[in-house]
A and B are shown apart, each in its own frame.
Chain A
Amino acid sequence: MDTADQSAAIVARVREAAAAHTPLMISGSGSKNFLGRRVTGIPLAVGGHRGILHYVPEELVLSARAGTPLADIETALATRGQMLAFEPPSFGTAATLGGTIAANLSGPRRAYAGAARDFVLGCRIVNGKSEILHFGGEVMKNVAGYDLSRLMAGAFGTLGVLLEISLKVLPRPEAETTLVCERDETSAIELMNRWAGRPLPLSATAWSEGRLYVRLSGPAPAIAAAAAGLGGEHLPRAEEFWRDLREHTGAFFTDPRPLWRLALPSTAAPLALDGPGIVTWGGMQRWVKTGVPADQVRARTAAAGGHATLFRPARDASPAEDPFTPLTPALQHLHQRLKAAFDPAGILNPGRLYAGI
């Protein structure tokens, strides 16, 4: 694994950009360029700033430079029987740790283990004033100062360039099995919620094409006991199933229509938008391929208590103007002030998340 410290160069680039008021477009490997708004700016490639800095398995902590490929981190963890419990998607082999955290991307385990943001312990960033700042640390509990490291998760690089990130890691489960049974969408959603209310070793759930999938992870005897109680059939090659779902490589994702991600209260009834759908995260996340106009998708999702992201525009279409659900005026105003607090010149990925921030 190659390592390189490019922080001095990154700081210099940010300093020049701030002085000249020229926006920067931060890029890890560019694997998630499809997601979010387009930024016009001078590319700032941070993928070369890489390397695992500190990994102590008995501390359950790993610190790495932001440009470190996710694949390198996962390999290092696997050799010590550990994992990133939020099971991030990588959308290709090049995805970096920085891009994953900046986009707060989590995979199938999200509903049961937590999101990327839940595992952030600390980070080192360069803010828009080209200052290197360190927040949080490598310890499990830390309330000294505001939690600005967690704030970086999902900020898409608009508040700072991530240099280093410390994450909590967890032991890999001893055993894992996936059960599958036939169910319609409504009863699948209800079952997912009922199961989550019982002390079962759940680690992922999904409903797709009339089938309900549930993954159990933990000590072998607990898995066996839970599996016997739930019924259904064991799914062969289950790892492939969950990987296709996480990486969007399954057949569903090849449909040319736009891909919407609906985040909903887990118990929300199916939205019945025109087009195929997949339910994941115990009902909290629903993927839909639909040509229904954006305002209608948004309105129906909002009425059900959720929010909708245009995750991937229709094949061959240009990026959407507003992929993320617009903020209320009060929140938009606060976002602008927070943006100015970190990046007064407005040079870090301006407009990546919303116009004006």
Chain B
Amino acid sequence: MSAAPATLFTDLRAVLPGDALLIREEELRPYECDGLTAYRALPLAVALPHTVEEVVNVLRLCRARGVPVVARGAGTGLSGGALPHAEGVVLSLARFNRILEIDPLARSARVEPGVRNLAISEAARPYGLYYAPDPSSQIACTIGGNVAENSGGVHCLKYGLTVHNVLALEALTIEGERLTLGGRAADAPGYDLLALLMGSEGLLAVVVEATVRLLPLPQCARVLLAAFDSVVTAGNAVGAIIAAGVIPAGLEMMDRLAVEAAEDFVHAGYPRDAAAILLCEVDGDEQEVAAALARVQEILKHAGARELCVARDEAERQLFWKGRKAAFPAVGRLSPDYYCIDGTIPRSKLAEVLTRIAELSREHGLRVANVFHAGDGNLHPLILYDANTPGELARAEALGAAIMELCIAVGGTITGEHGVGVEKINQMCVQFTPAELEQFHAVKRAFDPAGLLNPGKAVPTLARCAEYGRIHVHRGELRFPDLERY
């Protein structure tokens, strides 16, 4: 061990209790990756503070010594956002797991950053309230991670993303300075730094408390399952629903491979022979739901649905959703490894993009299962591969890159909710111009001049873009053809 870590450990021990510092390799191992297991690294140390004061001290110490800090919630991220830095400290917020206050009249909850997403809704339920953004990982993922990724879920089509449902944050800069962003009063003075922190992937500040908005539980919710003979028809049906002025509470799509996997795993009652299914949930009062269901059924029949089935009761509704929420692990059983893409596209391009993904899948010789937030146009193609077969990971990455660049070409984005992390950093060079990337770096420097919070993630250096050899394209064309190429 070099001298630098040895004195770092001594310094960390001085500000942390004995149970709050991990440095032995076997203790560090569980932190070597997040949900994107293809990338791994061991940090120098993991800090597991109990108090905000301890977090402040760890940050100040790392700032003074120039040591990188990677904040970590539950490690369920899918872009390598919480991947450790080999010369850095992982700052786990896992022990900050208390719900500090629920104010039923004001419909808000004040929670520590390590509180699990689902725990908030469970605590709010006795008051007839819930926290709307519901990522499929909600049993495990933390509100701090949700803020850092601006996470979404199946109900975001109607109720918004994390950014629409968080009222206030307490955050620490790398200097250990505490900032209050937003507030229980609307439209906080000055720049909207609350919005800026959403999706900032732990690069700007460390969240130590969040106040979230709670919504009344809908009186009634019903889900409808529609089966289609082709993904193109299903994709067009999504557009037809939105065009008719209906905003369902959720509108999700799964293709045959995903349906079969989910059926084998949880027996949700999906039709195995369908090329694609749509799950469409409507909520509101009884009459409103009945009217909306009738309307959606009409639209879907028109749009070519082969089979329509409304969940009979709450148990069947839960079962239909269970299949969707378990889709990732279900697909995971089909193959030793899978790689989840997260592009978002204009809804009108769904059919075209799904067709092209199928072609790309054949060209790259890897299977792709599709399961995604169709109402928002947020795709999750799952690329199946085997990391132990030489070359397969590289092929999976090449296919992933091709899908992301397809999303950009049709006017979309490389990531809708999982973040850039380390995974999509090269594609950032394609989506943004050098001047735009430089503006991101300038914002980062305004918060963290030394670049110590989660370095190397989210925004590529221009040098890295030059190395990747691809530069910004817009709808298939170079936007600044006269610009110097890196």
Q: Which residues of A contact B (CB under 8 A)?
A: 56-61, 81, 104, 110-111, 114-115, 117-118, 127, 131-135, 137-148, 150-151, 153-155, 159, 170-171, 190, 193-194, 196-201, 218-219, 221-222, 225-226, 263-267, 281, 284-285, 305-307, 309, 324-328, 330-331, 334-335, 337-338, 340-342, 353-354
Contact = CB atoms under 8 A, between A and B. Distances in A.
Given A143-B415, A145-B432, A197-B128, 16 more contacts: A56-B348, A61-B346, A141-B373, A143-B416, A143-B420, A145-B428, A147-B195, A199-B219, A219-B284, A264-B185, A265-B185, A305-B183, A305-B185, A328-B180, A334-B447, A337-B445
A325 B447 CA distance: 22
B347 interface: yes
B429 to A, nearest CB: 11
A190 B414 CA distance: 45
A196 B108 CA distance: 12
B218 interface: yes
B121 to A, nearest CB: 15
A140 B378 contact: yes
Contact of A115 (B186, B204, B245, B414): B186
B446 A146 contact: no
A342 B444 CA distance: 12
Contacts of B346: 56, 59, 61, 138-139
Contact of B184 (A59, A142, A305, A324): A305
Given A139-B345, A171-B245, A267-B105, A353 B291 contact: no
A153 B196 CA distance: 11
Contacts of A133: 433, 435-436, 439
B288 interface: yes
B200 A307 contact: no
A145 B344 contact: no
A263 B287 contact: no
B129 A197 contact: yes
B469 interface: no
B413 A142 contact: yes
A88 to B, nearest CB: 13
Which 5 A-B pairs give the minimum distances between C-beta atoms?
Answer: A58-B243, A141-B416, A171-B245, A341-B442, A337-B446
Contact of A150 (B152, B195, B284, B412): B195
A81 B246 CA distance: 12
Nearest to A173: B245
Given A148-B443, A197-B128, A340-B446, A266 B187 contact: no
Interface in B438-453: 439-440, 442-447
Contacts of B163: 118, 147, 150
A124 to B, nearest CB: 10
A350 B344 CA distance: 37
Contacts of B242: 58-60
B11 interface: no
Contact of B193 (A141, A200, A218, A334): A334
A123 to B, nearest CB: 12
Contact of B216 (A110, A141, A199): A199
B164 A114 contact: yes
B321 to A, nearest CB: 19
B347 to A, nearest CB: 6
B363 to A, nearest CB: 25
A148 B439 contact: yes
A340 B447 CA distance: 12
Contact of B443 (A57, A144, A341): A341
Contacts of A114: 160, 164
15 contacts: A134-B433, A137-B411, A137-B412, A139-B376, A141-B373, A144-B428, A144-B431, A145-B431, A145-B437, A146-B196, A219-B284, A219-B291, A222-B284, A222-B287, A222-B288
A140 B377 contact: yes
Contact of A58 (B188, B247, B347): B347
B200 A146 contact: yes
A291 to B, nearest CB: 23
Contacts of A140: 157, 344, 376-378, 416
B179 interface: yes
B195 to A, nearest CB: 4
A218 B348 contact: no
Given A197-B129, A330-B178, A338 B161 contact: no
A76 B415 CA distance: 31
A197 B107 contact: yes
Contacts of B445: 337, 341
Give the interface size class of chain B: 35 or more
A141 B380 CA distance: 13
Contact of A198 (B128, B160, B239): B128
A4 B200 CA distance: 35
B446 A334 contact: yes
B190 A144 contact: no
B127 interface: yes
B419 interface: yes
Interface string B393-433: 00000000000000000011111111110001000100111
A138 B411 contact: yes
A342 B442 contact: yes
Given A154-B191, A170-B247, A58 B239 contact: yes
A133 B196 CA distance: 17
A284 B186 contact: yes
A147 B106 CA distance: 28
A154 B420 contact: no
B287 A199 contact: no
Contacts of A285: 186
Interface string B260-286: 000000000000000000000000110
B173 to A, nearest CB: 8
Contacts of A143: 149-150, 199, 413, 415-420
A228 to B, nearest CB: 11
B439 A193 contact: no
B164 A147 contact: no
B184 A265 contact: yes
Nearest to A284: B186
Contacts of B444: 146
A225 B285 CA distance: 9
Nearest to B243: A58
B185 A307 contact: yes
A247 B156 CA distance: 31
A328 B163 CA distance: 23
Nearest to A220: B291
Nearest to A304: B185
Contacts of A150: 163, 192, 195-196
A193 B424 contact: no
Contacts of A341: 439, 442-443, 445-446
A267 B103 contact: yes
B90 to A, nearest CB: 22
A328 B180 CA distance: 9
A222 B424 CA distance: 45
A206 B64 CA distance: 52
Interface string B159-190: 01101100000000100011110011111111
A197 B160 contact: no
Interface string B39-68: 000000000000000000000000000000
A335 B190 contact: yes
B188 A199 contact: no
B354 interface: no
A154 B192 contact: yes
B459 interface: yes
